[in-house]
Amino acid sequence: MRTIAILAALSTLAVAVPGATQNTAPTAQTLRERTDRIDFDVLHAQVILDHLGYSPGVLDGRRGMSFVNALEGFQESRGIEVTGELDRATIRALRPFRAVRPVKRLTLTEGALSGPYVANMPESPEEQARLDRLGYRSPMEKLAEMFHTTPRVLLELNSPDTRLAPGEPVLFPNALPTSRDYPSNLPQEWRDTLSDLNVDASQPEAARIVVDKSDGVLRVFDESDRLVAQFTATMGSEHDPLPIGRWEIVGEAYNPPFNYNPELFWDVSDSEAKVTLPPGPNGPVGVVWIDLSKEHYGIHGTAEPTTIGRAQSHGCIRLTNWDAARLALMVAPGTPAVFQE
């Protein structure tokens, strides 16, 4: 009954504002009493790592592969033993950031989550091509992506009597950025997307990126060769392996359409029609395409954030939409991109 009630409320929710009113968050003890599904020590570490740029993927309070990768990246950046564990040395290193709380209680208001939504997303590319936009399926899906999590976690965080309607307080993982002062030369639509995804405007400048097949991560280094960001990624498959070599960033396409060409996909019949799919977060490349000097290859977002690092790709580098958008603020045309075994 709890799931049905909350989903029903979300289906009628019009909007929520990224900068909504923030109320005092409940204590960790209150949250632990509410649910035993989320490890709030893990969630707190995930939120801090997400803010620092060592992405744990989905903020869910679970000890998964992406969390281990994020811990390893943070440990490497701080010069402590790389264990992938939330050990004493790592907890000490995270302690200066403990003011970043794991959850925020936000008051939903009119304004920012209006549709239109695509409740019944067609599977066929030909049918998808007839849509105006490959948008979110529901307000629930958009809320989850906005706060770097999943609908399941939103249900777990909130009590059964939570009313998800304008004017009501709701708990979210604390993915709120410290700044939304995005560069003025970016298109307004892209700045709106960055804000909707709670991407912080303050990002390090990449001197190079390294995509490492051995551990499935994309690393960002600055001019001093310091690791300043890291993301778990999906990269290649047996049929479309990661293109090992030295490439560079050519450019970026924000909220791009997708030219679907069956001839480029080994698992699709060449008899299918070539079509142009409309833009949207649920499109094949998500909210951004970062073009590489290797023809037909790029770094992009995804419609399914929980599959990052667990599914295969057609050779490209796939990140969550919020991580791909964050990376787009770090790189520029000419940024070296090293792909290695």
Active-site annotation holder among 44, 148, 314, 316: 316
Q: Is 33 in a helix, a strand, or coil? A: helix
Pairing of strands 258-260, 245-254: unpaired
Q: In angstroms, rounded to a whole number, what is the distance separating the alpha carbons of residues 230 and 105?
A: 28
Whether residue 239 lies in the annotated active site: no
- Is the backbone peptide bond immediately before 116 cis, with ω within 30 degrees of 0? yes
One-letter amino acid at 12 equals T
First to last CA, the chain: 48
What is the distance between the alpha carbons of residues 218 and 128, in angstroms, rounded to a whole number?
Answer: 30
Whether 51 is catalytic: no
Q: 263-302: string of b/e by CB count within 10 Å (b at 16+)?
A: eeeeeeeeeeeebebbbbbbbbbbbbbbbbebeebbbbbb
The residues assigned a catalytic role are 300, 316
